[in-house]
Chains A and B, each alone.
Chain A
Amino acid sequence: MTLALAALFALPSFGQSDTLSVRRVDTDSLVTFLREELGAKIFVVKDGKDENSYTVSAPRANFVNAAVAQMHAKGYNASFYDGAWYLSNGLELASSLPLGYFNEAPKTDEELLKYVTGETTTVEFQNKVYEIGDERSGKTGKVHVHGYVKDVSTGEPIIGVSVMNPKTSVYSITDGYGYYNLLMPVGEGKLAFDGYTYEPVELNLYVYDDGGLDVNLKEKVNTLKEVIVSAESAATHRDAKMGVENIRISTLTKVPVAFGEADVLKVVTTLPGVKTVGEASSGFNVRGGSVDQNLILFNDGTIYNPSHLFGIFSAFNTEVINDVQLYKSSIPAEFGGRISSVLDIRGREGSPNKLQGSVGLGLLTSRFHLEGPFKKGGRTTFLIGGRTTYSNWMLKMIPESSGYHNGKANFYDLNASISHHIDSKNSIHAYAYYSSDKFAFSGDTTYHYSNANASIKWRSNFSERHSLTMSAGYDEYSNRLDNTSNANEAYKYRTHIRQAFWKTNFKSVLNEKHTLTYGINSIFYIMDPGSKTPFGENSIVVHRQLDGENAVELGAYVSDSHIVTPKLSFEYGLRLSGFTAFESPRFYGMPELRLSAKYSILPNLSVKGGVNTMRQYIHLVTNTSSISPMDTWKICDRDIRPQDGWQTAAGVYWTIGDSQIDLSLEGYYKQTYNYLDYKSGAILIMNENLAEDLVRTRGQAYGAEIMLKKPHGKLNGWISYTYSRSLLKEMFYRGAETINGGNWYSAPHDKPHDLKFVGNYKFTHRYSISMNIDYSTGRPMTVPVGKFKYGGDDRLAYSERNAYRIPDYFRMDLAMMIEPSHYLKSLTHFSITFGVYNVTARKNAYSVYFNQNEYGHISGYMLSVFACPIPYININMKF
């Protein structure tokens, strides 16, 4: 909780001309000399290991400056404030009091709690003037003010906060690291920090020169805990980007989900325009796109399968996540490689203040995390987390007659990160992630899949105008199927996707109207499309390995955030992407355009529009309704072309009544090309000629999303309705075998009507309830329309692909949250969440199928995954 003004390095003058020298003196002697001989006001905090030796020779007038410069060179942070030097070794010294503390910082946890919850007198920020830069710099014109915006209670960076100069309406939106950079005129000024769920702050500044200003914001009392999705209304009206959803992990526990564990992906699917084919299905669909058209990034690493246990749980431990952003329309130029959306998940840094952690117990899963500095007050922090299930032993408790008694279902995920802040401008972060799933519902077939990611990132604000983020890493997704149903034909089937990536991203504030983002990223793919090897001594399966595939994907991009006037702004972006497959040499390349514009009719009423073109060089080949772990990922080659897509969207955004209600309406139309569908009877695994079993389709999707959101007050939440269609059509006619005769047909995830409601009501600080309602049209299905006698029995003749729909989906969930302890000085803090998933016990169809019953009749059956109310309880403890 500090507000740190950047060190001011303009050196004071003492007005004397003779030369002074000191030789081989230690820190204490030097400081004493400066104080006693030169009368310098100098305050030093040094650590016990300081064995520095100084030799300084300089004119008396500049001697203090020279000595301080040398101390700075030997590791001291130096700040000059109000005629005095403040030097510290190891710790960065704040030259003013923390924001909100003014005269006296809270010294106890109770006082801090009061401050956080606003029970004490509200601090008048405007009463203090913060000086930026050195008053002797003599600068005129405009200078850069930059810094980080963080959450006061967690220390986590806050994304999407609008930082604006109210006089000029020039603004900056904090990026994924909570960083902003703004051009301010020299002289008196104001800076308004406006985050949707945070108390708005307006600071009085006196700007002399370039300088830093870190601000810690506190969440709004009574509102922040409940609000989960924050589109940052202030940012919405300022930023030209559209279709961006920001999800705050700290409050995910409020959305009821099956088995009660806070789940990033489940909350993503409560957003308008985001759908799933079923409630136990991996992945999600954004605006008519298929599952593989979403780029899911976790600390810059690509996650190919974001789910555990067929999609019942997501593969992310919410305790280690800081922020999630979903781009479903305006996809920044720095992202590429998928044509539908980007889900950018960023992990947290460990706390720099103390060792802390959490433990969570749920019905099927448990999780923990631990974080803190390696050394108290040090610059290096760590964070580790883990999650696992105990469904294995529970499966043993299921009656043998169920047929699942011998089943196994196990998963876990592990996270680790280390962050090191080299100095105030540079930091290095290392991340590692591993998730594993293994399940076998029958005794002879075992599935296993895993995601592994490791990455390292360097972030540098290397000048007042420019910042750099460079990351490199390695991702691996592998799956394995062990089949032992017949000892002689027992086999192991495996696939791997390995990729190494490197990303360099620059951000430059050119002037108050233009902020450039540019960079290069590359991915080197090493694909193992499949191998089948014998399992066991008796197996006569011959080892077979499909040819590996290697390729490189490059992207270079530049985008400009252009503020034409306070009312009108643009985002222009151009991305050049290229892809080369090595085994069957073929180069694909295409410029991709990103354009969006915003016009604010009123401060609280904006209209936006945009166009994107995207390209994707990897396909997920599947013939199942829900994504299966055994589905095949295929990169482009000579026969398989990249997926192309473009989307145009427009929207109106209205914040009604002092930010109490946000109303938005967005419409979109998109087209895709070369999405791969499968031929009837296609063989998708271990197929050397996979392309021959696939067909290229053209897709079109369109829809409108309306969302009403009330983020404030005891009652808060949102309701959204989406009408959308997603259709496919074979690109080339193949005679009688052409899917649906070459006509448009529904994509597997085409669900036109979608109504979602998420509501929270907070009775007191301790008790709150939540409700979640989800209605959607049933997804398309292919049904039998006739039967015929063949091979000794009745067989089924099927309709055109996806010509029918399963029954509509409806679900209501309730949850109650209890947070008994609010005492900050307590060693542990408990919270309990219990609720019921599918309160109305509606038997929602996951799939519908048709079989011949014992009387020879063809009957329809409906498989419902959660056919009854599922109670849950989750206990969380933080320490």
Chain B
Amino acid sequence: MDNWVKKIRKRTNLVAGTIVFLIIVFVAVFAPYLAPTHPWDDADLMISELPPSGEYLFGTDSKGRDILSRVIYGSRISLSVGVISQLINSVIGIVFGLTAGYFGRLWDDIVVAVANIMLSIPSLIFALAVMALLGPGLINVFIALGLTNWAYTCRITRSQVLGTKNQNYVKAAKAMGFGRCRVMFLHILPNIFGPILVMASLGMADAILMEASLSFLGLGTQPPVPSWGGMLAGAREQLFTAPWLSIFPGLAIFITVLGLNLLGDGLRDLLDPHMSETK
């Protein structure tokens, strides 16, 4: 146990990333209690575009809404997009990667070909195309981003399976007559979960950025629900006259994505056996 404490202490990345992530989760969960005003109902044109002050810490936007409240509520969108779309990504990637690596042959060729095609399409363009098909809206953002980035998880999973499926404990499981699904999901998957987890935390950061981009382009979350990307889009014209409109949502994106990347890096260092051998 002491060993673990020591290990974690040395990982500043992991600690910083975890703290940032936990703060975002906390803010998203308790948004109604933390936000001083309602993010869109409390609009008052009399107080539009006020600079940051003691009363409005982050200032107000062109419709007189408190930016702090909107940034706090925006975390809910970003976090749910990150978690849900990455969950979809991971499930798709794990299922295809596991089966491709385990069964090999034609199925492997097909999955690898499709994954390579997916990787060669710019992901924002692909997500845009899916959004154009489905129409704007938060649920559709989940689906579009969920379908976009699974190829990374798929490839990582597949390569890990290739290394693991010849381990003797997998052979022993086959020799005992365990079914394919049992071998794949109960014997191989738990042993390759580390790299998949790392991919998932990095993928979450990616998804949050993509959602911001989609909202910026007007295809993501629809107003008046605040999302960080949407807030940036609305603040574009006041970039020079009222910079706080874009600075605070931009900072929120930056800190969240940085935190998730640190978390992913830290997890990689922690879970990678090659790194942990060298003390």
A pairs with B:
no
Binding site for B on A (CB under 8 A): none
Binding site for A on B (CB under 8 A): none
